[in-house]
Amino acid sequence: MRSWWARPSCGPRIRVRHDGPVRLNALAEPLERVLDRAPVSWKPLIDAWRASVPGQALLAFIAARQAAAATIYPAQVLRALELTPREQVRVVILGQDPYHGAGQAEGLAFSVPTGQRLPPSLRNIFKELQRDLGLPTPTHGHLGAWARQGVLLLNATLSVELGLPGAHTKRGWEALTDKIVAAVAETESPIVFMLWGGHAQAKAPLLAERAGRLVLHSNHPSPLSAARGPLPFLGKRPLWRCQPVPGRTGRRTDRLAHRLKARRPASWQRAWPGLRAVIYSAVRRGGVPEWLKGADCKSVGLRLRWFESSLLHQAKRIISSVF
């Protein structure tokens, strides 16, 4: 019986047999067939990328690796898009590439199938949720419930090979995920983007100068970088700024206003890093957001921070509701 050594993501090496878990969740059909079944809400975007030079290059690369008997994960490379339609996206969690251990990747960033041991990156995510929201650690690592409630769990690269992290980086996937992120950022609904790791943060320019967007940066939750500065994941508490949403739209509680006022800079021009981007974007569209109407210069910063708090509360409500 043939066997070889493989190293699951961020874990010790294990011996894998040919009839073991290696082929579990592996891509067993041509990538073109998978793309033919693209979700309806994302299909125009995927078809445009598929016909482009990066798309054709990726198809040729994947076909060549399959011909060479490479084990490619996951089988459902578009699963994040299947579970989260374009019009339902409220939170985007952006990672690097899928887990490269046997049977771990399932097409959702940071998620593993039920029954799989929690990878270290996912354990760190759950640890921060417990520290931040007081939630008990889940008994499994499948994040499908998040995806169905509007959390787009997207990797910058959508495929990988067994035991070879980053094997499909810069092969064409990035052009597709750039289009996905840009398309989500153009929607009218408020969106929270969580960019975890360098590959994810490379997409930050796609989110510049857009109103109603909250972008949070941190290192990747992998143990290799989770505690490293300047943007550590551990201890950062990604949702620590969430505050209760006021009882009525447009109204702030005294406690929230007091906390925000204490942190507000003396000059309204420095009230919030995204202030100018929000105003410029509104002017280009021929109007200003409802929550900015009637505000004088001194209160603009406070209103923007209230809006930021509302966005974070939305992300917190979605994520905490699945446990």
Residue reference for tokens 């509680």: 253
Can you give the pLDDT at residue 83? 96
Residue range 38-73, pLDDT digits in tens: 999 999 999 999 999 999 999 999 999 999 999 999
DSSP for 69-124 reads T--EE-S-TTHHHHHS-GGG--EEEEESS---STTT--SSTT---TTSPPPHHHHH
What is the mean predicted confidence (pLDDT) over 231-245? 54
Higher-scoring residue by pLDDT: 127, 135:
127
Can you give the pLDDT at residue 273? 45
Residue range 241-294, pLDDT digits in tens: 432 322 223 333 233 333 333 333 333 334 444 444 554 455 445 555 555 555
The percent of the chain in helix, strand and coil, each rounded to the nearest 5, is 40, 10, 50
Higher-scoring residue by pLDDT: 296, 39:
39
- Averaged pLDDT score across all residues of the chain: 75
Can you give the pLDDT at residue 280? 46
Cis peptide before 232 (omega within 30 of 0): no
97 catalytic residue (yes or no): yes
CA-wise closest residue to 44 among 148, 183, 171: 183
Amino acid code (one letter) for 42: W
What is the mean predicted confidence (pLDDT) over 67-80? 95
36, 97, 178, 296: the catalytic one is 97
0.95 surpassed by pTM: no
The answer to whether residue 171 scores a pLDDT higher than 90 is yes
